[in-house]
Chains A and B, each alone.
Chain A
Amino acid sequence: MTVSASGSGETLKVVYELLAPFNKRGVDLGPGVRFSEDLNFDSLVVMEFVAAVEDRFDISVPLNLLPDIATIQQLADAVDRIVKSDKG
């Protein structure tokens, strides 16, 4: 699985796919969906989900970034930034 730096649409698709097993409420996934309020993620679920994202994209998502990631779009953007900086 490779994701190009400008492929935010592609990244979003992968994020939806990774979210499926964590989407216990069956929420309609879209870029604006919020992890905490809409998907009811607690800290344990966040930990598991972040690990899934890291494994799929082969990146490290530091804990420091999490406070700034509230929505699916923000996560996809962060993933793209990390993938890009890892390549650079």
Chain B
Amino acid sequence: MADIFDRFAPLMAQRDSFFTEAGADPFTVRMDQVISQTEAMIGNRRTILCGTNNYLGLTFAPEALKAAHAALDDFGTGTTGSRVANGTYVGHKALEDELKTFFKKDHAIVFSTGFLANLGVLSTLMGPDDFIVMDADCHASIYDGVRMSQAQIIRFKHNDAADLDKRLARLADKPGNKLIVIEGIYSMLGDTAPLKDIVAVKKKHANTYILSDEAHSLGVLGRFGRGLPEQDGVEADVDFIVGTFSKSAGTVGGFCVSSHPKFDTLRLVCRPYIFTASLPPSVVASAAVNLSIIRGPEGGALRKRLRRNAQHLHARLTNLGLKIASGPSPVVAVVAPSPEMAVAFWRGLIEAGVYVNLALPPATPYGYSLLRCSLCAAHTEEQLDEVVAIFGRVAADLGLIERCARKVAGA
């Protein structure tokens, strides 16, 4: 008789051959002690964290800690209820007000995670006669959200505005709304959308809206940290912005903002908003404080440091002869020649005290096997130099630097 988990047997076999035999399993990393935004004890090894998406290092912002402690004492550890029942506290409304101020939008809805924000908005917004036209490299939460919708789903080639235009042109005679879905910064490679071109395409077509997921660009791009739409000067043309508090904002939770006058309708129809418990009071309190830091002068200084760190790491790893998947950004993804080599590389790094993300196909674009680093404004130059030195040592041990260098020369 078949076991209920039998259908996962090939996957588990692959996991065993990749990780168990290699003596390193990224799914078992455990932070035993968090020393700072950029260092933790993993087992008894002091480890530099270079893959936490904690871009601005706000997980220990003193003002946010203070607000979270106060909310914990005043309102308890959890709301035990949905936003539409007993789970909307003064803090949730204050966070939504802060989001409206932050993004200069008329409406804001807070969800319990970024994943749920995408799931909720995308599954609800578009009906059976509508079309969602999404970038092929969008995040899993976008894929799941659009699958839950009743709309027709069309994908366009990653970051290709001309391909998007072609696909929208084919839908010109169809009634129904069209929603373009993109991301400000794509999480795996750190590349940004050609948003100005995409806005120009949107304007050519009737009944067409844009939703941008700014999960990785919130706090990172734009003078005030409002993400790619701010940086590209097209905020008025991006109809919906989805994001998360789990990266730059240093906590957890998701949101969607919009100036569409009927946006709040979602609160009545959006199941991932209605049928889940709301965020704990301490979480919404720290998120609101961190957003106000991000849009203020301190945020500007942190963005500057983040950019400098990103350029530093990108340049130094490139100098080693490693192949980086895209230009300097807070995500620096080193391309390994094979999944097996990436696992060995990752193991070498973690054993030497550097944590990065191991990302393997099919979760990666172009079938890349990646050592994905993400920068933090709080990384010191010394820490990054140590990261680079360890990368160099491990890559040399694996005979990779020469191999990568030849590839680059041959390209």
Mark A residues whose CB is within 8 Å of B.
Answer: 42-44, 47, 51, 54-55, 58-60, 62-64, 86
A62-B152 CB under 8 A given contacts A51-B157, A54-B170:
yes
Chain B residues with CB below 8 A from A64, complex form: 152-153
**Interface contact B154-A60, CB-CB below 8 Å:** yes
Q: Are B153 and A62 in contact (CB under 8 A)?
A: yes
Q: Is the CB of A44 within 8 A of B152?
A: no
A59 touches which of B136, B146, B170, B362 (Cβ 8 Å) = B170
Q: What's the Cα separation between A42 and B146 when bound, in Å?
A: 20
Residues of A within 8 A of B155 (CB): 47, 63
Contacts of A59 in B (CB 8 A): 170
- A43→B362 contact, CB < 8 A: yes
Interface residues as binary, B149-177 with A (CB distance below 8 Å gives 1, 0 otherwise): 00011110100000100110011010000
Size category, B interface: 10 to 19
B367 interface hit (Cβ, 8 Å): yes
Q: How far is the CA of A86 from the CA of B171 in the complex (A)?
A: 10
Given contacts A58-B170, A60-B152, 18 further A-B contacts (CB under 8 A): A42-B362, A44-B366, A44-B367, A47-B155, A51-B157, A51-B163, A54-B170, A55-B166, A59-B170, A60-B154, A60-B170, A62-B153, A62-B154, A63-B146, A63-B147, A63-B154, A64-B152, A64-B153
Complex contacts, A51 vs chain B, CB 8 Å: 157, 163
* Contact (A60, B136) CB under 8 Å given A42-B362, A47-B155, A51-B157: no
B147 cross-chain contacts in A, Cβ below 8 A: 63
| A47–B153 alpha-carbon span in the complex (Å) | 13
A53 to chain B, nearest CB (A): 12
- Chain B contacts for A55, CB-based, 8 A: 166
| Neighbouring B residues of A58 by C-beta, 8 Å | 170
Partner of B136 from the list A42, A47, A54, A86 (CB cut-off 8 Å) is A47
Q: Which residues of A contact B173 (CB under 8 A)?
A: 86
Bound state CA distance, A43 and B361, in angstroms? 11
> Are A60 and B157 touching (Cβ within 8 A)?
no
Cα–Cα, bound, A59→B169 (Å): 10
A-B contact list, 26 entries, CB within 8 Å: A42-B362, A43-B362, A44-B362, A44-B366, A44-B367, A47-B155, A51-B157, A51-B163, A54-B170, A55-B166, A58-B170, A59-B170, A60-B131, A60-B152, A60-B154, A60-B170, A60-B171, A62-B131, A62-B152, A62-B153, A63-B146, A63-B153, A63-B154, A63-B155, A64-B152, A86-B173
A60 to B170, CA, bound (A): 7
Q: A44 — which chain B residues lie within 8 A by C-beta?
A: 362, 366-367
Shortest C-beta distance, B377 to chain A (Å), equals 35
Q: Which residues in B have their C-beta under 8 angstroms from that of A42? A: 362
Residue of B nearest to A55 (CB): B166
Question: Quick one: which of A43, A47, A60 contacts B167, CB cutoff 8 A?
Answer: A60
Closest A-B pairs by Cβ, 10 of them: A63-B153, A62-B152, A60-B170, A62-B153, A60-B154, A64-B153, A47-B136, A62-B154, A43-B362, A64-B152
Look across to chain B and name the residue whose beta carbon is closest to the beta carbon of A85: B174
